């Protein structure tokens, strides 16, 4: 059995690549065609899940071979990184041994000068940076961050217009008053991420009744290189629309015009992408209460953020607003029931839906 395993393990290093057949899951799974010992071979590569070992995970941030900062805004910082392979570990060990060696000043100075010349030539500093990790840092993090990213059971709830009016809207107001939108306003006002903005229409300079103002930039979860995993974010400049609940029939021309501008800006920035390869949607409930539109490539496999009960297509919102009864321009999304999923650790569950459920159960048992 041991010989059989050893023989199987020896095959992969002998694989010679001829061409890449496909990449999917945003580049996380790759199919390669080539040969082994002059015989055709197909090799599929897929990122394995992280080990659950706390010892391993605790060492991981300290053992990264390379870290590249992509941006910073308020408490949020995001990076691309490469984990340490055997070559990286050997290089680190050699450097540590070199630093620990006792040398006289002249010898040490000569060696440092030699190392600098090597780095300027063909040394590690000139190697292409191929990342295998996307890292987001929340520092200092809040209780809300911890709740959002903790493992928890999920509930499917229905938010009626009455629940929205009496419970959800006040909660939205309280979250906005806490300053949770500082990072959004930093972007809108040009204090941070200015170099990341790929398109901007100033508020009051274009659009319908001067209300078109929005900007488009990469979402912090995109690695900014894999186009089939494209994920952009459109932030509106106006601050009176917190979520899709604030959208009304009168906003249809504004939404249509903004959709057209977003798609045009995206395909102009990324010429290999065509308009019918893009999906536009909003979240409900959103992570933060300032209207923003997600723009993703259709090939990007839907995860939790695009699932039913979370993502609502922009075109679906526009069509819903169009067919609302009557000619009343003030008719809007606050008048419809919305169903969605939420975690049991979220404030929406603990402060709104769980108490409502208990109250309904108590009433039913009487």
CATH code at 224?
Answer: 3.30.428.10
Choosing from 100, 133, 166, the residue where a domain stops is 133
143 located within any domain: no
- Are 184 and 234 contacting, i.e. CB atoms less than 8 angstroms apart? no
Task: Give CA–CA dist 85/63, Å, rounded.
Answer: 10
Task: Give CA–CA dist 98/115, Å, rounded.
Answer: 11
3-state DSSP of the chain: CHHHHHHHHHHHHHCEEEEEEEEEHHHCEEEEEEEECCEEEEEEEECCCCCCCHHHHHHHHHCCCEEEEEEEECCEEEEEEECCCHHHHHHHHHHHHHHHCCCCHHHHHHHHHHHHHHHHCCCHHHCCCCCCEEEEEECCCCHHHHHHHCCCCEEEEEECHHHHHHHHHHHHHHHHHCCCCHHHHHHHCCCCCHHHCCEEECCCCCCHHHCCCEEEEECCCCCCCCHHHCEEEEEECCCCCCCHHHCEHHHHHHHHHHHHHHHHHHHHHCCCCCHHHEEEEEECCCCCCCCEEEEEECCCCCCHHHCCCCEEEHHHHHHHHHCCCCCCCCCEHHHCCEEEEEECCCHHHHHHHHHHHHHHHHHHHC
Q: Is the dihedral of CA 304, 349, 285, 341 positive or negative?
A: positive
| Residue scoring higher pLDDT (33 or 113) | 33
Does one domain contain both 68 and 36?
no
Active site annotation includes 292: yes
Task: Give CA–CA dist 171/288, Å, rounded.
Answer: 12
Does one domain contain both 112 and 247?
no
Task: Give CA–CA dist 341/307, Å, rounded.
Answer: 9
| pLDDT value of position 23 | 79
In this structure, the number of other CB atoms found within 10 A of the CB of residue 88 comes to 16
Does one domain contain both 157 and 255?
yes
pLDDT band at 148 (very low <50, low <70, confident <90, very high): confident
140 located within any domain: no
Does one domain contain both 299 and 325?
yes
Of 167, 251, 290, 292, which residue is the catalytic one?
292
| Residue scoring higher pLDDT (5 or 175) | 175
Does one domain contain both 343 and 305?
yes
**Nearest residue to 295 (alpha-carbon basis) of 227, 232, 337, 222:** 232
215 located within any domain: yes
- Are 257 and 212 contacting, i.e. CB atoms less than 8 angstroms apart? yes
In this structure, the number of other CB atoms found within 10 A of the CB of residue 273 comes to 19
55 located within any domain: no
Does one domain contain both 112 and 235?
no
How far are the Cα atoms of 23, 222, 223, 245, 357 from residue 128, in angstroms, in the given order? Answer: 20, 20, 16, 46, 55
Task: Give CA–CA dist 58/280, Å, rounded.
Answer: 37
Task: Give CA–CA dist 333/245, Å, rounded.
Answer: 5
Domain membership of residue 23 as a residue range: 2-46
pLDDT band at 171 (very low <50, low <70, confident <90, very high): very high
Residues paired with residue 338 on neighbouring β-strands, in sequence order: 159
Residues paired with residue 16 on neighbouring β-strands, in sequence order: 35
| Residue scoring higher pLDDT (76 or 116) | 76
| Residue scoring higher pLDDT (239 or 28) | 239
121 located within any domain: yes
| Residue scoring higher pLDDT (116 or 18) | 18
Does one domain contain both 189 and 271?
yes
Does one domain contain both 30 and 171?
no
**Nearest residue to 125 (alpha-carbon basis) of 66, 45, 37, 44:** 66
Residue 92 scores a pLDDT above 60: no
| Report field, pTM of the whole predicted structure over 0.85 | no
Residues paired with residue 82 on neighbouring β-strands, in sequence order: 66
Cis amide bond preceding 209, omega within 30: no
124 located within any domain: yes
Does one domain contain both 67 and 13?
no
| pLDDT value of position 115 | 47
| Residue scoring higher pLDDT (234 or 30) | 234
In this structure, the number of other CB atoms found within 10 A of the CB of residue 257 comes to 16
- Are 80 and 135 contacting, i.e. CB atoms less than 8 angstroms apart? yes
Residue 265 scores a pLDDT above 50: yes
Does one domain contain both 322 and 180?
yes
Does one domain contain both 200 and 86?
no
316-350 tens-digit pLDDT? 999 999 998 766 888 999 999 999 999 999 999 99
Number of structural domains found in the chain = 3
Percent of the chain with pLDDT over 90: 51
Does one domain contain both 26 and 78?
no
How far are the Cα atoms of 24, 223, 225, 261 from residue 229, in angstroms, in the given order? Answer: 9, 8, 8, 21
139 located within any domain: no
Task: Give CA–CA dist 212/293, Å, rounded.
Answer: 13
329 located within any domain: yes
């Amino acid at each position: 059995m041991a010989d059989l395993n050893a023989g199987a393990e020896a095959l992969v290093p002998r694989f010679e690549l001829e061409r890449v057949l496909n990449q999917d899951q945003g580049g996380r799974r790759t199919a390669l065609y080539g040969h082994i010992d002059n015989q055709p071979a197909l090799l599929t590569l897929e990122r394995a899940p992280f080990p659950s070992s706390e010892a391993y995970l605790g060492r991981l941030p300290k053992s990264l071979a390379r870290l590249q900062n992509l941006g910073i805004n308020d408490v949020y910082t995001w990076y691309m990184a490469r984990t340490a392979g055997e070559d990286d570990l050997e290089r680190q060990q050699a450097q540590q041994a070199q630093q620990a060696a006792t040398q006289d000043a002249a010898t040490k100075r000569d060696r440092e000068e030699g190392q600098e010349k090597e780095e300027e030539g063909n040394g590690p500093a000139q190697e292409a940076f191929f990342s295998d990790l996307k890292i987001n840092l929340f520092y200092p993090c809040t209780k809300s961050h911890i709740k959002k990213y903790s493992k928890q059971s999920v509930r499917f709830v229905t938010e009626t217009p009455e629940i929205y009016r009496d419970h959800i809207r006040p909660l939205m107001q309280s979250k906005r008053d806490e300053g949770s939108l500082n990072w959004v306003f930093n972007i809108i006002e040009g204090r941070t991420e200015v170099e990341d903005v790929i398109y901007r229409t100033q508020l009051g300079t274009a659009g319908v009744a001067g209300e078109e103002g929005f900007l488009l930039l990469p979402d912090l979860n995109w690695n900014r290189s894999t186009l089939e995993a494209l994920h952009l974010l459109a932030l509106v400049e106006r601050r009176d629309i917190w979520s899709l609940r604030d959208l009304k029939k009168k906003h249809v021309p504004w939404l249509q015009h903004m959709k057209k501008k977003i798609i045009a800006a995206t395909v102009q920035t990324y010429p290999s992408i065509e308009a019918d390869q893009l999906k536009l949607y909003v979240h409900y409930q959103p992570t933060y209460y300032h209207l923003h539109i997600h723009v993703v490539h259709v090939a990007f496999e839907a995860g939790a953020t695009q699932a039913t009960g979370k993502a609502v297509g922009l075109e679906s919102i526009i069509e819903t607003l169009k067919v609302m009864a009557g000619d009343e321009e003030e008719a809007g999304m606050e008048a419809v029931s919305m169903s969605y999923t939420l975690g049991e650790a979220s404030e929406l569950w603990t402060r709104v839906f769980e108490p409502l459920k208990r109250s309904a159960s108590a009433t039913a048992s009487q």
